[in-house]
């Protein structure tokens, strides 16, 4: 009996149980309508890089400065990812090693803040992220967060209110960029407020990075100090993240008078050896592929179509009588307030799941219900746009969603929609 690893048998025969689960998940993704706004379908090339032998290599350190031998190709692929990321966003510095968005945000705080420092971020219940200061998260425990929200009337960010809070609180960092905010973000306004109060400006563009790369949302560059992005949302890359930043530290004298380091060096030290060990080189290779795709002219058309699709979906949902938080969308996502329909976010999510339309329940601003069964659902168009769907499909899908949420208790109505979904998705093959 040989002890050597089997390098040739494919998973189908090597582990039929896991292989069957992969096949089932592939079919689920293909048959249904994936409308969770943080998800997308990367190209086959991205998935191939992820499944490559770069997985096998240890390379603690950075290109040309490693603690391990044998890194000539790892160096090249990481440098390529760095160069492409910088080019894509016009950034001075890029670190492509963060394992995912949450650890990348931790690295930024670790690089620029001390424990207990004051930070401003949007609360989770109004559209922010857990890592922007929620009390159950490390960010809320280790740093002193002041949380802003949206205006109660417009359900949009009121920049005057943000400025007032910043002046009153005098934070060391101000974060913008969200997970459930359907409107365009005034990154320039945030950077100006940060400059005014002597705070670092940080943007978490995880959700909208693809739109920014594709010129369909204003960019936080070059004026923002430090920008985090996941690579697996609208950027359509592998699960992972990156941190882009200025090279120098404009607030060094105020906050780090003893130090010679710029923001770029602080970030690199915080990611490794501050928080992480060996980089995930298979993910970094896949990031390089995804950034290369995003640099192509066709990516701009793709990004534009994501927004067009979201707007077409908005019109269709409103025609069904659904209320959209803030009255519409400027980006890839929509937040639907179901309160008036007498159905909860959980009931809607479950009914839509039964119709093979995947969304997630979500709080709406000033929600009177709790996060486990909130008043809304959040949906988005990136994944469907990856499949090539356009406004006409969005119009149909909006009608179907309206039918399901209004008939969430009627299995026959849901089954009818499910069968229409199947007919539609059959025409959009993926991962052949
Ligand atoms: C998705 C997201 C994150 C976290 O990314 P993970 O990879 O899930 O850890 C952080 N911030 C924002 C705004 C996000 O949308």
What is the domain range of residue 370? 299-425
The residue whose C-alpha atom lies closest to atom 5 belonging to ligand 1 is 101
Pair 172, 97 in one domain: yes
Residue 180 alpha carbon to ligand 1 centre in Å? 11
How many C-beta atoms surround the C-beta of residue 152 within 10 A? 9
**Ligand 1 nearest-atom number relative to CA 105:** 10
Residue 357 contacts residue 349 (beta carbons within 8 Å): no
In 160-264, which ranges are E strands? 173-176, 200-204, 226-230, 241-245
Dist. CA 325–CA 156, nearest whole Å: 9
Residue 101 alpha carbon to ligand 1 centre in Å? 4
Give pLDDT tens digits along the chain (432 positions).
889 999 999 999 999 999 999 999 999 999 999 999 999 999 999 999 999 999 999 999 999 999 999 999 999 999 999 999 999 999 999 999 999 999 999 999 999 999 999 999 999 999 999 999 999 999 999 999 999 999 999 999 999 999 999 999 999 999 999 999 999 999 999 999 999 999 999 999 999 999 999 999 999 999 999 999 999 999 999 999 999 999 999 999 999 999 999 999 999 999 999 999 999 999 999 999 999 999 999 999 999 999 999 999 999 999 999 999 999 999 999 999 999 999 999 999 999 999 999 999 999 999 999 888 999 999 999 999 999 999 999 999 999 999 999 999 999 999 999 999 999 999 999 998
Q: Which of 234, 186, 243 is nearest to 382 (CA)?
A: 234
Residue 130 alpha carbon to ligand 1 centre in Å? 8
Residue 394 alpha carbon to ligand 1 centre in Å? 26
**Ligand 1 pocket, residue 129 CB under 6 Å:** yes
Strand 65-66 relative to strand 61-62, pairing: antiparallel
Of 276, 294, 312, the last residue of a domain is: 294
Dist. CA 129–CA 106, nearest whole Å: 13
pLDDT at residue 371, as a whole number: 84
pTM of the model: 0.97
pLDDT at residue 180, as a whole number: 96
**Ligand 1 pocket, residue 231 CB under 6 Å:** no
In a domain, 21, yes or no: no
Residue 234 contacts residue 309 (beta carbons within 8 Å): no
Of 271, 294, 317, the last residue of a domain is: 294
- Cα–Cα distances in Å, from 310 out to 119, 321, 366? 32, 17, 24
In a domain, 19, yes or no: no
pLDDT at residue 41, as a whole number: 98
Pair 245, 307 in one domain: no
**Ligand 1 pocket, residue 365 CB under 6 Å:** no
- Cα–Cα distances in Å, from 348 out to 134, 168, 345, 410, 427? 26, 41, 5, 12, 26
Pair 264, 318 in one domain: no
Classified as helix, coil or strand, 173 is strand
Residue 267 contacts residue 226 (beta carbons within 8 Å): yes
Task: Specify the CATH number for the domain of residue 362.
Answer: 3.90.1150.10
Residue 54 contacts residue 287 (beta carbons within 8 Å): no
The residue whose C-alpha atom lies closest to atom 4 belonging to ligand 1 is 101
In a domain, 430, yes or no: no
């Amino acid at each position: 009996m040989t002890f050597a690893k089997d390098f040739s048998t494919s998973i189908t025969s090597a582990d039929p149980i896991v292989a069957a689960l992969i096949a089932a998940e592939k079919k689920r993704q293909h048959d249904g309508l994936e409308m969770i706004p943080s998800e997308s379908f990367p190209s086959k090339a991205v998935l191939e890089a992820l499944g490559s032998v770069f997985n096998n290599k240890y390379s603690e350190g950075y290109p040309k400065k490693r603690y391990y031998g044998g890194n000539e190709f790892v160096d090249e692929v990481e440098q390529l990812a760095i160069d492409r990321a910088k080019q894509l966003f016009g950034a001075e510095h890029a670190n492509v090693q963060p394992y995912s968005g949450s650890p990348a945000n931790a690295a930024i705080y670790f690089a620029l803040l001390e424990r207990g420092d004051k930070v401003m971020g949007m609360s989770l219940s109004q559209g922010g992220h857990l890592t922007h200061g929620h009390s159950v998260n490390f960010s809320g425990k280790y740093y002193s967060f002041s949380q802003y929200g949206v205006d109660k009337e417009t359900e949009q960010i009121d920049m005057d209110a943000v400025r007032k809070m910043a002046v009153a609180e005098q934070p060391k960092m101000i974060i913008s960029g969200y997970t459930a905010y359907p409107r365009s973000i005034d990154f320039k306004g945030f950077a100006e407020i940060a400059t005014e109060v002597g705070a670092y400006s940080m943007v978490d563009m995880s959700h909208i990075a693809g739109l920014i790369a594709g010129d369909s949302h204003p960019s936080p560059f070059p004026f923002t100090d430090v920008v985090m992005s996941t690579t697996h949302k609208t950027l359509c890359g592998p699960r992972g993240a990156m941190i882009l930043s200025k090279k120098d530290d404009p607030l060094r004298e105020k906050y780090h008078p003893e130090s010679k380091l710029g923001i770029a060096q602080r970030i690199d030290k915080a990611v490794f050896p501050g928080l992480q060990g060996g980089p995930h080189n298979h993910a970094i290779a896949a990031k390089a592929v995804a950034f290369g795709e995003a640099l192509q002219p066709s990516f701009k058309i793709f990004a534009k179509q994501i927004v067009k699709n979201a707007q077409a979906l908005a019109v269709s949902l409103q025609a069904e009588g659904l209320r959209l938080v803030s009255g519409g969308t400027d980006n890839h996502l929509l937040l639907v307030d179901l309160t008036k329909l007498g159905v909860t976010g959980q009931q809607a999510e479950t009914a839509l799941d039964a119709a093979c339309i995947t969304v997630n329940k979500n709080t709406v601003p000033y929600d009177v219900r709790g996060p486990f069964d909130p008043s809304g659902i959040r949906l988005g168009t990136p994944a469907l746009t990856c499949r090539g769907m356009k406004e006409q499909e969005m119009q149909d899908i909006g009608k179907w969603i309206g039918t399901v949420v209004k008939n969430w208790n009627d299995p026959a109505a849901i089954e009818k929609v499910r069968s229409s979904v199947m007919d539609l998705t059959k025409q959009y093959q993926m991962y052949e």
